Structure 1
Amino acid sequence: MPDASDGAAFFAENCVACHGATGQGDGQNADDLSAVPTDLTELSRRNGGVFPAARALSYIYGDPQQGHLARVMPQFGGAMAEDLVPVEIDGVFTPTPRALAGLLFYLESIQR
């Protein structure tokens, strides 16, 4: 099962350019984007103190309510769906791409 350190590695490889090394939305590419990158350290605070795992996973994987042209962030679905692990989300074990499971654990660990 992946853990927060696996997610930190995925974050460093795929997310730092926009969200910054600490996840606060201050990456080197942030100023060049049409939308300000989300401060990922405040997801829980903006959700009543609870980490919004289902919403975060939906957005990262590729929110079906948002077409790919309506968002700046890339969708991380596709081939990832071939390596799934069970992650408890809202009390239900949900098949989740291994890389994104680690990322969820990492994001939860950096909440302020």
Structure 2
Amino acid sequence: MTRTGFIYTALAAVPLTLGPALAQDVGKEEYVQACASCHGDSGLGDGPLAELINVPMPDLTGLAAANDGAFPMLEVIQIIDGRTGVRGHGEPMPIWGDRFKAKAAPEAGDYGAELVVRGRVLALAQYLQSIQK
């Protein structure tokens, strides 16, 4: 494994090993890079690209409230990943699992890339859990 591949693999484990505060920072950075352009900086669905998309952009800060106060972690993970058939808001949402894996696979290999995907998706989900109203 190359040095960069090792770094990708190590970053995938960040949400699991560094504790909630640092994992939230990693998740927030992932959110800014992957989600904010559509969902907005605060997760309210008011990103600069939201008006260009054919389906209403959901308010990500109300996921727990819409689920009787419990954050739907597994569903959120599946929607972000997108590879399990569970798709977000009518399906124009990118399949982040494929995108993350394609970026990581050349250096981390298939198995290492899958670790990267899971770490990045989990970091995003944990961040979304942290911004619930």
Fold similarity call, TM over 0.5: yes
Separation in 2 of the partners of 1:31 and 1:65?
Answer: 25
Q: Is the helix fraction higher in 1 or 2?
A: 2
Q: Are 2:82 and 1:75 aligned?
A: no
Q: Are 2:40 and 1:20 aligned?
A: yes
Separation in 2 of the partners of 1:109 and 1:60?
Answer: 16
Separation in 1 of the partners of 2:36 and 2:123?
Answer: 16
Q: 2:126 corresponds to which residue?
A: 105
Separation in 1 of the partners of 2:123 and 2:70?
Answer: 18
- The CA deviation at 1:64 is 3.1
Q: 1:91 corresponds to which residue?
A: none
- The CA deviation at 1:101 is 1.2
> How many aligned residue pairs are there?
101
State how 1:28-47 maps to structure 2 within 5 Å. 28-47=48-67
Structure number with greater Rg is 2
TM-score using structure 2 length: 0.68
**1:48 aligned to 35, 59, 68, which one?**
68
CA 1:26–1:4 in 2, change beyond 3 Å: closer, same or farther?
A: same
Letter of the structure 2 residue corresponding to residue 104 of structure 1: A
Identity of aligned residues (%): 32
Listed as ranges, the gaps of 5+ residues in structure 2 are: 1-13, 16-22, 105-110
Q: Is the strand fraction higher in 1 or 2?
A: 1
TM-score using structure 1 length: 0.80
Listed as ranges, the gaps of 5+ residues in structure 1 are: 86-95
